Amino acid sequence: MAVIKIKVNGKEISREVSDSTLLSDFIRDNLLLTGTHIGCDTSQCGACVVHLNGKSVKSCTTLVADCNGDEITTIEGLSKNGKLHPMQESFKKHHGLQCGFCTPGMVMSAVDLLQKNKNPSEQEIRDWLEGNICRCTGYQGIVAAVKDAASKM
């Protein structure tokens, strides 16, 4: 056990957790931020993607103990003053989701893409989302949403 200090969605948090706690479990079970999903045991689906110090990572493959002093943004941290983030708006508008299970990870991953590449091509969007699996949409709406969000951000 150790006391971990971590900033989550702008708020300083200090909690005692066991060394083997995964960041995904910490976010969901300790902080009750259940927007971050867990879809696999093999680090392949991307439903758990959050930002760690501004970069997208798989929270299911990161230890909280490894994030001491770091800054995390989860899907709950994207909207500002009750207004959805442009990427979220765009997913809604373009039917970038059906069941919504993959969506938090998709959105967090896509936001990271636009930080690096302001105007990605369709191929670049598809390549970037390699680590995010969606079983519903067939990806068309997702790609359209990311393209549209890029034009607005």
Which residues here bind other proteins, judged by CB under 8 A? 2, 18-20, 22, 41-44, 46, 49, 55-58, 61-63, 65-66, 109, 112-113, 128, 130-132
Token pair for residue 9? 């969605």
Q: Smallest distance from the beta carbon of 14 to ligand FES, in angstroms?
A: 25
Q: In what order do the strands lie in the sheet with 2-8?
A: 11-17, 2-8, 71-73, 49-52, 55-58
| Binding interface with ligand FAD (CB under 6 A) | 43-44
Q: Which is nearer to other proteins, 60 or 145 (CB)?
A: 60
Residue 45 in contact with ligand FES, rule: CB under 6 A:
yes
Q: Which is nearer to other proteins, 6 or 113 (CB)?
A: 113
Cβ atoms of 39 and 47 closer than 8 Å = yes
Does 136 interact with ligand FES (rule: CB under 6 A)? Answer: yes
| Greatest alpha-carbon span in the chain | 46
Q: Which two tokens stand for residue 97?
A: 């989701």
Q: What residue ranges bind ligand FES (CB under 6 A)?
A: 38-40, 43-48, 58, 60, 97-103, 134-137
